[in-house]
Structures are given as structure tokens and as C-alpha cells.
Amino acid sequence: MKNFLKGIGIGICIGIPLLAVLLIASHITGWPSFLHKNASMQEEFSQDSEVEESGFTGNTGIENDSYQESDSNSEDTRNNESGMAEDSTQVSEDADISTDEASGTGDVLLAFAGDVMFPEAYLDAYNRSGIQTLADNNMLSHMQDADLFIFNEEFPFSLQGEAMEDKQFTFRADPKYVKIFQDLGADIVTVANNHSLDFGRDAFCDTLATLDQAGITRIGGGYNDAEASAPATRTINGQTFAIFGATRVSPSWDWYATDNQAGIFQTYDPARLNAAIKEAHQTCDHVIVFVHWGIERNETPEDYQRSLAKGYIDAGADLVVGCHPHVLQGFEYYNGVPIIYSLGNYLFGNRDGQTVLLETTFSDENPPSVKLIPCQRSGGVLKEIQNPSGLYQKLTNLSFDVTVGEDGVLKDQE
């Protein structure tokens, strides 16, 4: 008992002075309030982390406004569905704006290629080893890294229908091979050409459905005239684009779309296309026309090609790109706007001739700059040409007051 009482006495003697010291320290340092502030900071950090993890970041900064695509996946809808608070959304948007301003670049890179058609040899190679059997990694990066990659699909995706009678060449491919388009990085294809209905209207509709399901936008053709004549529209880095597809080559007038018939959009009479260009020019920063025209194997454009191109530009087009001749044709500038008369074959049959991938860079203020990526199939694989000086000189000779520099950039000499 004595020991117990003795222990209590010692505890009191030590505890009272210690408590006094602690009280004095708290008065001087404000220690309890510091603990409270630290706890609040920890809570705020936790909340910020939750907002960042659940916040909408977008995918590529590209808004798809094509006539084929609904707007049900708009940013407002996504933010509402994610349950983000209004102030959290504002922080995210402000951060994106700051990043764009800091970069100082609003440039947009569009890549264009000519005619694409897959023979059995392509498909067999692809089945064995994938997309590297058609194009090497360097060329794939040019296609895949562009903000938009656009080319001419010179065949239908379908296994049904009969080949058009009295037509020398008819093409088609199994719809499963749309995966090749995806592997190449295709964003938009034009179906306005002289092979899209080789196997009839049902096969053409299979093509439309196949592209839609693959997420690849189609221009120049649709289930009716309104779809076929409408442009694909895009907003990229704050710049808006309207891209039209049309053909001046067709085996039959029956191939053209009507109000209640699927088909393609024609520009034999350019009045409707010119009117559509004028309308798009009022609301879009850039209007592009991808047109099927000319004479096969002719390296010089027809007079009507030059006339149509200038009419498109007078209506408001900022770039005119052509295909169909299966060979490269020259270039021309009209009122400062580039005209690419024919991109020739790109991946087409077993033909190994020299060709180009066209890269166009758009900015807010300057006309588009145009650069050629020279390429050729070697061993069945599309590869960049390492010494293209001869090709550049030939294209310069075929052009109208335009030279192709050693770097592949087009230069208007007027």
C-alpha cells in the first residue's frame, strides 16, 4: 500500500510540470491549429485526386461533326454522366486552354493518298503477318500520326451481288478487311469513283455499313443524295474543316444518289458542288474537295479538270485533291490555292510505280503548305523513296508554274 501511494505521488510530481510545459508550448506555436490545417490539406489533396481520376480528358482533341455521326457523345453529356461538379469541369477546360496557348501552335496536319484497292496477294500477306506486309513502320507513322488520313477507296466491301456487265475491271473485298483501313490509320475515305458500285447497289450499301461500323467516315456516297453530297466536317485545334467527295467519272448515271436511292455524288455539272462549297465556306475555316476525274494513264490533266478546280476555288475551296488516272499528275496554284491533279495509285493492285503521300499543314492565318512523301512498293511493302530527286523533277515538269523542292515542298512560282 505504501508503494502504491508512493507511485501516485511521483506521478503527480512529474505530470503537473509536464502538463504546464505543454500548455505553454501550445500557446506559443499554435500547434493544435497546425494539426487541423494539415488535416484539411490532406483532405483537399484527396478530393483533387478523385477529380483528376474521374475527370473527362477527351481522346484526341478532335470533334467529329460529320453528317453520319450523332452528337450524343458531346462533352456536356460526358461530363454529366461522369458526375463531375461544375467547378471541376471548369478547371479541366481552363487547363486545356492554357496548354494550347503555351504551345503556340494551332497547326493541323492532313494526309491524302490516291487509289487504294487490295488484290488477293495483299490480303494473303496481311493474313500471314499483318499490316507491316503492306507498309513499313516509317510510312505507317506518316499515315497514323496525321490529324486526318484521307484516301480513295476504289472498291466495295461486300460478298454479295454480281459484277456489272460489260465492265472490264470490277473490284471488291470481304468486309472483314476493313481492318486494314483501321491499321493504316484511315479517318475518311471517298467512295465517289467508278468502282464503288461494281457489284450493284446492295454491295454498295454493304460498303456504307462496313465503314460506318468501323468508325471510318465516308464522303461522296450515301444512302441518299443528302448523305452523298454532304461534307465530312471536323474541328481540330480550333480549326474547322469541310471535306467533300465527288466524281466526274462514272459508268452509269444510275450510280448517282437520289432522294430515295443510295449512290454517289457527281460533279459532271459542278453547280451543286459549287453551291455546297459556298455554303460550307460561310461556316468553316477550310473547305477541301477530293474529286475523281481525268483520263487513265494520262500524266497531264484535261482542260476540264483545270476548269472545275478553278470553279471550286472561286466558290471557296482551300485545297483541291484529285485521283483516278492511276498515275501522278502535276500541280497548280490558283489564287494562292493548291491544286493536286492526281495522286495516282497508292496501294492498288500489284502496281509498284512511284507515288506520293500528300501532307498538308493548315494554320489559322497562312495558306496550307503542301509536302510530298515519296514512296514506292518494294518487295510488296510500301516504303519511302530515299533519293526522290528524279521524281521531283518530273513532277515539276508536269506542273504549272510550281516547283517541288528538294524537301518535297511545293512552291508557287507566280
239 within 8 A of 215, measured Cβ to Cβ: no
| Same-domain check for residues 86 and 197 | no
Based on DSSP, count helices (H) and strands (E) in the chain, helices before strands. 12, 19
CATH of the domain at 347: 3.60.21.10
281 within 8 A of 244, measured Cβ to Cβ: no
| Same-domain check for residues 258 and 134 | yes
| Same-domain check for residues 94 and 167 | no
| Same-domain check for residues 89 and 141 | no
In a domain, 377, yes or no: yes
What letter would DSSP give residue 367?
P
261 within 8 A of 177, measured Cβ to Cβ: no
**pLDDT on residue 27:** 40
Q: How far apart are CA 179 and CA 175, in angstroms?
A: 9
Q: How far apart are CA 150 and CA 322, in angstroms?
A: 12
| Same-domain check for residues 177 and 90 | no
286 within 8 A of 318, measured Cβ to Cβ: yes
Burial class (CB within 10 angstroms; exposed 0-12, middle 13-18, buried 19+) of 53: exposed
In a domain, 47, yes or no: no
| Same-domain check for residues 255 and 364 | yes
- Calculate Rg over the CA atoms of the chain: 31
What letter would DSSP give residue 163?
P
| Same-domain check for residues 288 and 223 | yes
Q: How far apart are CA 51 and CA 74, in angstroms?
A: 19
246 within 8 A of 292, measured Cβ to Cβ: yes
Burial class (CB within 10 angstroms; exposed 0-12, middle 13-18, buried 19+) of 210: buried
Task: Quote the number of domains for the chain.
Answer: 2
| Residue among 411, 236, 233 nearest 331 (CA) | 411
Task: Render each residue's pLDDT in the chain as its tens digit; 414 residues.
Answer: 444 444 444 444 445 444 443 443 444 334 333 333 333 333 332 332 222 222 222 222 223 333 333 333 333 333 333 332 333 222 223 323 223 333 334 899 999 999 999 999 999 999 999 999 999 999 999 999 999 999 999 999 999 999 999 999 999 999 999 999 999 999 999 999 999 999 999 999 999 999 999 999 999 999 999 999 999 999 999 999 999 999 999 999 999 999 999 999 999 999 999 999 999 999 999 999 999 999 999 999 999 999 999 999 999 999 999 999 999 999 999 999 999 999 999 999 877 889 999 999 999 878 899 999 999 998 889 999 999 999 999 999 999 999 999 999 999 997
348 within 8 A of 355, measured Cβ to Cβ: no
In a domain, 209, yes or no: yes
Whose grid coordinates read 523533277? Answer: 393
51-57's contacts with Cβ under 8 Å and 24+ in sequence apart are 51/84, 51/85, 51/88, 51/91, 54/82, 54/83, 54/84, 55/82, 55/84, 55/88, 55/89, 55/92, 56/82, 56/84, 56/89, 56/92, 57/92
> Domain range holding 372?
108-412
For 278, the enclosing helix (H) or strand (E) is helix 271-283
| pTM of structure | 0.75
In a domain, 162, yes or no: yes
In a domain, 32, yes or no: no
In a domain, 369, yes or no: yes
| Same-domain check for residues 215 and 331 | yes
In a domain, 99, yes or no: yes
| Same-domain check for residues 86 and 148 | no
In a domain, 204, yes or no: yes
| Same-domain check for residues 178 and 239 | yes
How many CB atoms are located within 10 Å of the residue 78 CB? Answer: 14
**pLDDT on residue 364:** 81
Q: Is 262 helix (H, G, I), strand (E, B) or coil?
A: coil
| Same-domain check for residues 245 and 379 | yes
| Same-domain check for residues 142 and 177 | yes
